[in-house]
């Protein structure tokens, strides 16, 4: 898969290991997150930071529910103090075979 199109602005989304969800509609997240993670795996990027913001925690819960269902996700956790705290999630992916 080549760079993903940003559904909010129809621009190319760089596949660099950081996905900022602030510019996307909540309805896009269900497809966007798995597609982005697969694109990262194709490029050998196995640690990805997903920025979902703090807010009410609804988007974080949605992202975590998606990650829990993906077989290529080894683990995910809060990004920690230097990486955005609970406003971001670090995802570790299985390498492609």
CATH number of the domain within which 49 lies:
3.30.1370.110
* Mean pLDDT across 33-57: 96
* pTM exceeds 0.85, yes or no: yes
The two structure tokens encoding residue 82: 């230097």
Identify which has the larger pLDDT, 26 or 51.
Answer: 51
Tokens 């199109």 label which residue?
5
For residue 45, CA distances in Å to 15, 49, 55, 57 come to 9, 11, 28, 26
The domain tally of the chain equals: 1
CA 54 to chain centre: 15
Share of residues in the chain with pLDDT > 90 (%):
67
Domain membership of residue 70 as a residue range: 4-93
Share of residues in the chain with pLDDT > 70 (%):
89
């Amino acid at each position: 898969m080549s760079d993903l199109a940003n559904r909010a602005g129809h621009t190319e989304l760089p596949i660099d290991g950081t996905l900022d969800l602030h510019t996307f509609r909540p309805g896009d997240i269900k497809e966007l997150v798995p597609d982005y993670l697969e694109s990262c795996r194709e490029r050998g990027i196995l640690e990805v930071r997903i920025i979902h913001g703090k807010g009410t925690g609804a988007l974080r819960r949605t992202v975590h529910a998606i990650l829990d269902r993906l077989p290529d996700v080894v683990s995910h956790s809060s990004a920690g103090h230097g990486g955005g705290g609970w406003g971001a999630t670090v995802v570790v992916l299985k390498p492609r075979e």
